[in-house]
Amino acid sequence: MAVQPEGTEWATPTIEVSVFRHGELVTRELCESEADAELVLATWAEIEGVTCQVDDLSYHHRPGDVLEPEPAVLLDEDDQRDVPAEPDYGG
């Protein structure tokens, strides 16, 4: 269990830095600020063959968000729309 230093507050990570080397994921770093993410990027910047991807986690939607898609509604037998029959090509 992590111990919180006195006089500090816990923050939710809002930025994820994914580090790739030759296309393979090496590590993921969760950062609480842009400054933290910049430090991670600076650490990996000098290594050959390494690329980093920065993702802002605050824009990801979670269940219950306003933009969550509605579940599909199945039509009842009485609510079937007139669907044209497939054409008979005389085959």
pLDDT in 10s for each residue of the chain, 91 residues:
444 455 555 567 789 999 999 999 999 999 988 999 999 999 998 899 999 999 988 765 566 655 555 666 666 666 555 555 666 666 5
Q: Checking phi first, is residue 89 left (phi over 0); if not, alpha (psi -120 to 50) or beta?
A: alpha
Q: What is the pTM of this model?
A: 0.53
Q: Which of 16, 20, 21, 47 is nearest to 33 (CA)?
A: 16
pLDDT of residue 81: 59
Question: Taking a C-beta distance cutoff of 8 angstroms, is the pair 22, 4 a contact?
Answer: no
Strand pairing report for 50-56 and 24-31: unpaired
For the chain, the structural domain boundaries read: 11-59
The pLDDT of residue 1:
41
CA 62 remoteness from chain centre: 10
Model pLDDT, residue 87? 64
